[in-house]
Chains A and B, each alone.
Chain A
Amino acid sequence: MSAPTTLSSPPFDVVGGDHAKLDAPDRLTGVAAFTDDITLPRMLHAKILRSPHAHARILSIDTTRAAALPGVVDVVVGSEMPLTYGVIPWTPDEQALATDKVRYVGDAVAAVAAIDEETANRALAFIDVHYEVLPALCDPREAMANTDVLIHEDNRHGNISKRVKLAFGEVDSALAAGDSEPGAHRIAGHYEFHGTTHAAIEPHCALAHFDTTGLLTVWSATQVPHYLHRELARVLELPTYRIRVIQPAVGGAFGGKSEPFDLEFVAARLAIKTGRPVKCLYTREEVFLAHRGRHPFSMDYETSVDADGRILAVSGETVLDGGAYSSFGLVTTYYSGQLLCSPYSFGAYRFHSTRVYTNKPACGPKRGHGSVQPRFAIEVQLDKAAHLLDMDPIALRRRNLLGANSTTINGFHIGSNGFAACLDAVEASSDWQTRRAKLPRGRGLGVAGSTYISGTNYCIYPTDLPQAAVQICLDRSGRVRLFTGASDIGQGSNTTLAVIAAEHLGVELADVRVIAADTDLCPVDLGAYSSRQTLMAGNAAIMAAQELGKKVRKAVADHWQCSPKVVTLAGRRAQRLDDPAVFIPIQDAFVLAETAFGTLGSVGHYNTPRSGVHGDYRGGTIGASPAYSFSAHVADVEVDVETGDVTVHHIWAAHDCGRALSPVLVEGQIEGSVYMGVAEALMEHHHVMPTGLGLEGEKEPGPWVSGLLAGSSLLDYPIPTTLDTPEISALIIEDPDPRGPFGAKEAGEGPLHPAIPAVVNAIYDAVGIRIDCLPVTPEKVLAALDALAAQKGSDDA
């Protein structure tokens, strides 16, 4: 059952207004407390000992010498918390601290609590661990083929973590039509998406306190307090009511803080053991090792288009390099194929995706989970098709529009669909036709489109309970208190919910106080992932606010002896619609309502629609969403043919978010997404040294440990500075969806997708080379230019 939604029309009082974030002043003055800013009396500091081997059996762990050091208060090893966990309940393959085996360089084996961090750090060297080193598997294809070395020995499928094979329609014959039909084309391409990581500027941090009543409180830089709460209960073997999880201000997450990590278990366990508060803060190196970033994908795609540019069939075969643990990998494997079937209509489609365990930091969800990589492949495939057909690439995309109120070939129901408007907007803003015709060699324009989900239809564990809930209280001074389990990780979800409540209850935005992400105070929300909160928590907020609004209007109407239908709440007033001269301040209206109905509080919840929104085949629910966002980008790129350097001058990014509840925040999500996508195309690479080799490309073994991370600092893993970031034009498209609050859909992840293929397609437009293996480096550009020149030379000869 889905909660009632409002799809009223503008003008609104608060929705769509030019307002800043509620909590910005605290963040601009250094007042906002992030987890590491919290200090408790008698607090200890914990550090974690990590494996120097990519793959090894633990023969023994002796903590005696470390425990004896002055300043060390306690030590913890894995046998104290042996139960396995995993954010996806079907794949619990992790332990808080390893007991039998380590599976990547950086796997946690023991931890120390000491009077200060320096002492804890030093004590780690006095923990004696004896390992039997095992062969490390760092290449997914090698790991897939190897049946002698098993990374998870109890896994029934060797080193394969998940395999998904789905087909829709007559794929082989539709693909063959690309060869046989006159004017049609069949395009085969091999694409490599390297791994990238989130690199939030705030490192992970957890603080735990075990009080005299037996309550464990864990403050953590997490984006999923609810899932952390569940897993803490499981691993620490405590009932959930004895655990309270609080998420303080979070300094960026992007998917990198969406599951439990070793530090939360370690801090909690040591707090219980010592009776003192324990904090554990990752170093930047540990953030890179914790990872859960974007999977490397090795993709083989085939696409057939007819002579008019219609997509006859798409077939994708993908190997996902999963790293050492499952993380969200089951979902990633489905998403790698399931999220590709929009915004274009496919005649037939199949995908075959295999996620493989390797002895590397585990991959997981990063902004645009599982679908950024295949989106790169398909958008380049379509660009190749347009050039073969001598069609404008925007025109080719228009020819394949899925449209609103449609069903994708894999059975997802699409409601509102602003993709055509996104294409129009980027075509017009970039002056595509004129600019493209005038560009000199070395400069090019590229286009790409995409879609994304506004939350997933199902929780990651089986339940029919609500996915989001909001409680609202009105107080006698005309203020509103809103309690939500949703996680504001900088994207502004607290502000978004306040906008919704303020709109319904007739107060100003600043009159709403949001209390969020505290499992003792707030109702359950599944957290900040899958771009779910605006739609789901937003609908819950509407439900709660509507109930209170009704009471207030009824009380005021009784006072005025009129119908509640002519009472409106807006601008800190209750006012008669039929006689605007009659009004009272909103606090007086709240007082009338409290007098009439008693203390004013309400709860709202949201559950996703379950019927008619997805196919009924196995896996058909994974990737289905209540509403889908759409994006289109045009990139203006310059290639230096002497150095191979690529400069992105400008990205025009149009995004259909349904309704921009806070346009400044939506623009911020678009701009941040574009920045991150461009960086993944050109700069960033979470690179792990392959087995037995030195630096990439070197034939001789280097002095490197197998499975060692190449860049574990923000210098060696360069993220863009102000000087590396292109000019970005964020264009908001509003195609309201009946399932969204005021029509709103997601904005946080969708706008990343097209940036990467738009840049790569622009490089082709600029100099005629295809870089199908990311990231685009000067070396690859120069090699491709050389190959192109050689090809031309032989053609001329």
Chain B
Amino acid sequence: MANLPDSPSPLAPAAPPVSPAIQSPDRPVQTSLLRFELNGEAKTVAAPAHWTLLEILRYELRLTGTKQGCDKGDCGACTVQLDGKPVNSCLVLALDVQGRTVKTVEGLAVGGQPHPLQKSFDKRGAAQCGFCTPGMLMSAEALLRQKRARGDEGIETLEIAEALSGNLCRCTGYTKILSAVVDAWRDKP
């Protein structure tokens, strides 16, 4: 879960010596009703106002395919698509998705079949531990969809690398990930 701005870091100085009654942690939390589309289905969720989209996904909806690696927007493991664009879900306030469309790795399969990216990642061995993989796939899918919409013919390694540069992987050295995205673009996984 998030390190909220008002929650002390474990290293922060101790709280002032006041009575717990004054600084009670169970101060009222405003909860809002969120309606949005998630992986093609309408969802209604009661969300604490300060929660992030990542928290809603993982802790409220139990969609644990989206990972938390840093909770600060540094690693990209929590990447999902908001209205078709990749975002770090740890940096999106849940209230901001009101009425919008969210897609996670759980919604990537097409008609019950793995997405071409999932097939090519599998064949290439582009997922080792697999922790960055859901986020990596969501960034890659957005790139390929945008390119097809633009009517691009070819694909350059550099444009893939740029599109995935916000998704840190510690296992693969990215080599097989870049190859897998090219394969999926050519749709010959």
Contacts and interface: CB of A to CB of B under 8 A. Distances in A.
Interface in A458-507: 489-492
Contacts of B149: none
Contacts, number: 233
Contacts of B133: 27-28
A202 B165 contact: no
Interface residues of A, number: 85
Nearest to A36: B68
Interface string B131-153: 11110010000000000000000
Pick the most buried of A30, A105, A714, A719: most chain B CB atoms within 10 A of its CB.
Answer: A30
Nearest to B62: A39
A25 B25 CA distance: 42
A49 B161 contact: no
A25 B65 CA distance: 12
A658 interface: no
A30 B173 contact: no
B181 to A, nearest CB: 10
A28 B122 contact: yes
B131 A201 contact: yes
Interface string A597-631: 00000000000000000000000000000000000
Given A70-B25, A122-B7, A24 B109 contact: no
Interface stretch (A113-121, A161-169, A309-317): A113-121
Chain B interface category by residue count: 35 or more
Contacts of B165: 721-723
Contacts of A48: 10
Nearest to A123: B25
A34 interface: yes
Contacts of A45: 1
A116 B60 CA distance: 13
A251 interface: yes
A413 B124 CA distance: 36
Contacts of B121: 24, 28
Interface string B76-115: 0100000000000000000000000000111011000010
A52 B11 contact: yes
Contacts of A127: 14
B164 A121 contact: no
B170 A200 contact: yes
A665 interface: yes
A24 B67 contact: no
Interface in A284-304: 284-286
A33 interface: yes
Contacts of B173: 671-676, 725, 728
Contacts of B72: 284, 713-715
B51 to A, nearest CB: 10
B174 A30 contact: no
A254 B170 contact: yes
B160 A722 contact: yes
Interface in A715-769: 715, 719, 721-723, 725, 727-728, 730
B178 interface: yes
A254 B62 CA distance: 28
A21 B125 contact: yes
A192 interface: no
Given A68-B20, A70-B25, A286-B10, A252 B74 contact: no
Contacts of B137: 28
B123 A69 contact: no
B132 to A, nearest CB: 5
A29 B25 contact: no
Interface string B159-182: 011101111111111111110000
B40 to A, nearest CB: 15
A284 B69 contact: yes
Given A121-B7, A123-B25, A725-B173, A250 B129 contact: yes
Nearest to B63: A30
Contact of B67 (A29, A251, A671): A251
B25 A106 contact: no
A369 B42 CA distance: 51
A30 B104 contact: yes
B70 A284 contact: yes
A129 B118 contact: no
A719 B129 CA distance: 17
Contact of B26 (A70, A126, A665): A70
Given A671-B173, A722-B161, A728-B175, A714 B25 contact: no
Nearest to A48: B10
Given A30-B106, A37-B64, A672-B172, A69 B161 contact: no
A200 B127 contact: no
B13 interface: yes
20 contacts: A20-B123, A23-B130, A24-B121, A24-B130, A27-B127, A30-B105, A45-B1, A70-B26, A106-B11, A200-B170, A251-B130, A284-B74, A668-B128, A674-B173, A675-B172, A714-B70, A721-B164, A722-B164, A728-B173, A728-B175
Interface of A: 20-21, 23-34, 36-37, 39, 45, 47-50, 52, 65, 68-71, 105-106, 116-119, 121-129, 198-203, 249-254, 281, 283-286, 489-492, 664-665, 667-668, 671-676, 713-715, 719, 721-723, 725, 727-728, 730
Interface of B: 1, 3-4, 7-15, 17, 20, 24-26, 58, 62-72, 74-75, 77, 104-106, 108-109, 114, 118, 121-125, 127-134, 137, 160-162, 164-178
Given A125-B8, A721-B161, 13 more contacts: A20-B124, A30-B64, A32-B130, A34-B64, A69-B25, A117-B1, A198-B170, A201-B170, A203-B68, A284-B71, A714-B69, A714-B75, A722-B177
